[in-house]
Amino acid sequence: MLQLASPSLPVGAFAYSEGLEAAVEQGWLRSEADVRGWLAASLEATLVPLDLAVYFRLHAAWQADCVERVGDWSRYLLTSRETAERRAQERHLGHALATLLDGMQEPGARDWRLGGAHAADVSFAALWALAATRWQIEPEAAASGLAWAWLENQVLAAVKLVPLGQTRGQILLFELAEGVPGAVARATRLADAELGGSLPGVALASTAHETLYSRLYRS
């Protein structure tokens, strides 16, 4: 689990701010308190009812060796991304993780690589779930790792962009991470009809980032 959630995992997640850069540029996020509110809202309104809830379904599909169901939920996650930037990010990270897992000779990963049979349906969460099932990581632990990886990447982006000091960034990460276990628990209780989450401000920030004149993060 530590290897999968490590920031050294070579998939390029550090290259994306998920609209955070544009939000700072627009003046929406000016302080640590602003960033805390932004990320806490994203965790509750998007990660719980979408990313984490879908993750549990992907994990179960891999455990059942049902690739068709994996593709269905991965497509659902892709189509739930509101902007071209977010969809491109999802595919890029998914392809990168598939390439890594294939290089580690994990069964099932090759078809999700760029050019593979399921490449069009790839998502980062789908390949994270593949790794977790192959490495016998419990679904709750794997979902917690997925949430942690997202949160850490967002806080590191805020440290650079707002900017926040390194110490304040670690304090912020520590505080927000306390909400991860509860978020994971809530995601396990959601029925299919309850899935889906979006924050218009985050979507607008991602859209604005696509045309930002000068940027540090990938679009």
* CATH number, domain containing residue 94: 1.10.4190.10
pLDDT band at residue 37, thresholds of 50, 70 and 90? very high
Q: Assess if residue 11 is contained within a domain.
A: no
The reported pLDDT for the residue numbered 213 is: 82
Predicted pLDDT at 18: 95
Q: What is the pLDDT of residue 207?
A: 93
The first and second tokens of residue 206, run together, are 């991602």
Q: Is residue 126 part of a domain?
A: yes
Q: Do the domain assignments include residue 106?
A: yes
Overall number of domains in the chain: 1
Lowest mean pLDDT among 46-50, 115-119, 208-212: 208-212
Residue 215 inside a domain? The answer is no
Q: Which of 45, 7, 68 is nearest to 197 (CA)?
A: 45
pLDDT averaged over the chain? Answer: 96
Would the pLDDT of 34 be above 90? yes
Specify if 111 maps to a domain: yes
Q: Give the domain range for residue 121.
A: 16-210
CA-based angle 20:186:68, to the nearest 5?
85
What is the rounded distance in angstroms from the CA atom of residue 192 to the CA atom of residue 61?
14
Predicted TM-score (pTM) of this structure:
0.96
pLDDT tens for each residue of 141-199: 999 999 999 999 999 999 999 999 999 999 999 999 999 999 999 999 999 999 999 99
Instruction: Give a yes or no: residue 5 inside a domain.
Output: no
The rounded Cα 74 to chain-centroid distance in angstroms is 13
Task: Extract the tokens encoding 35.
Answer: 């960033």
**Token pair 């805390």: residue:** 36
Task: Note whether 188 and 140 are within 8 A (CB).
Answer: yes
Contacts of 171-174 with CB under 8 Å at 24 or more apart are 172/32, 172/35, 172/36
With beta carbons less than 8 A apart as the criterion, state whether 131 and 106 touch. yes
- 183 in any annotated domain: yes
Cα(19)–Cα(87) distance, integer angstroms: 13
Has residue 1 been placed in a domain? no
Alpha-carbon gap, residue 110 to 75, rounded angstroms: 18
Peptide bond into 181 cis (omega under 30): no
1 vs 110: CA distance, rounded Å:
21
The pLDDT of 93-108, averaged and rounded, is: 97
Give how far Cα 30 sits from Cα of 2, 65, 153, Å. Answer: 32, 46, 18
Q: Specify the pLDDT at position 212.
A: 86
